[in-house]
């Protein structure tokens, strides 16, 4: 098999990028790509920390779930729900899984992605390992507070800007509860919770910030998609 054909087999069919339309809240990080798709309800330009939206679609998530469903053994049927889980249950943690492709001879990382995005079955030398991150759910009250705390008025833009990095830090510190992530020596990374504020301890936060940048970027992006959190790209 040629290198080009093997690369196509690994990556699979190209996923169509979601479309995005204007909204009244912009992302202060000015990220050049969009993970979510949404449309504005009224097209207004009034600055607000409460986005006006009429549609939220996680297109990549839908594609992956549908693909997994078609490949699933019909005899192994998972628990089904009759209604969408619209009310947040604090005790039910949200699981985010990532798939890491690395070289066992040196540990170099070649991919960090959501499981199912790469056909890792074609790999012969590189190894694959999965990790799970469990988050406490975010409800509307949480999100309202975080938007206020992570927002600042930009006089040049004439709009209220949400600092995406600060918002992600709120999600990470306040909601990450468990992970099976391990250090280079195989020692497990433990999420310590500060009993005074019920958030991740400063010690754990300092440790997890020492990971490769792509790790938390992918994990937090997948968490945001799970929550259907919206961000706009500056045009």
Give the model's pLDDT for residue 113: 94
Q: Which domain holds residue 106?
A: 3-70+91-227
Say if 86 falls within a structural domain: no
pLDDT, tens digit, for every residue of 73-107? 555 566 777 888 888 888 899 999 999 999 999 89
Q: Report how far Cα 122 is from the mean position of its chain's Cα atoms.
A: 26
Work out how many domains the chain is built from and give that number.
1
Say if 85 falls within a structural domain: no
pLDDT, tens digit, for every residue of 26-67? 344 443 333 343 334 444 443 455 566 677 778 877 887 787
Say if 46 falls within a structural domain: yes
41 and 52 in contact (C-beta within 8 Å)? yes
Sign of the alpha-carbon dihedral angle for 213, 216, 222, 223: negative
204 and 191 in contact (C-beta within 8 Å)? yes
Confidence of residue 233 (pLDDT cuts 50, 70, 90): very low
pLDDT, tens digit, for every residue of 196-224? 999 999 999 999 999 999 999 999 999 99
Residue that has been written with the tokens 């994990």 in this structure: 219
- The 8-class DSSP code of residue 120 comes to G
Say if 82 falls within a structural domain: no
Say if 133 falls within a structural domain: yes
Cα-flanking dihedrals φ and ψ of residue 110, to 5°?
Answer: -115, -15
Say if 76 falls within a structural domain: no
Say if 132 falls within a structural domain: yes
Reduced to 3 states, what is the DSSP secondary structure of residue 138? coil
Say if 120 falls within a structural domain: yes
Give the model's pLDDT for residue 73: 57
């Amino acid at each position: 098999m040629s290198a080009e054909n093997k690369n196509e087999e690994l990556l699979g069919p190209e996923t169509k990028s979601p479309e995005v339309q204007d909204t009244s809240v912009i992302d202060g990080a000015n990220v050049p790509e969009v993970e979510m798709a949404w449309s504005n309800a009224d097209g207004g330009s009034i600055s607000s920390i409460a986005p006006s939206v009429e549609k939220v679609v996680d297109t990549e998530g839908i594609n992956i779930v549908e693909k997994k469903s078609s490949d699933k053994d019909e005899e192994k049927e998972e628990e089904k729900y009759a209604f969408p889980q619209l009310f947040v249950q604090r005790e039910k943690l949200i699981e985010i899984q990532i798939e890491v492709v690395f070289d066992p001879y040196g540990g170099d990382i070649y991919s960090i992605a959501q499981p199912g995005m790469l056909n890792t079955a074609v790999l012969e030398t590189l190894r694959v390992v999965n990790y799970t991150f469990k988050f406490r759910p975010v409800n509307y009250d949480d999100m309202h507070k975080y938007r206020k705390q992570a927002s600042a008025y930009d006089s040049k833009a004439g709009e209220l800007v949400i600092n995406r990095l600060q918002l992600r830090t709120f999600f990470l510190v306040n909601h990450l509860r468990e992970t099976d992530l391990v250090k280079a020596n195989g020692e497990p990374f433990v999420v310590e919770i500060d009993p005074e504020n019920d958030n991740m301890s400063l010690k754990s936060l300092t440790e997890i910030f020492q990971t490769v940048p792509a790790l938390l970027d992918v994990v937090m992006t997948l968490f945001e998609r799970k929550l259907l959190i919206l961000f706009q790209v500056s045009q």
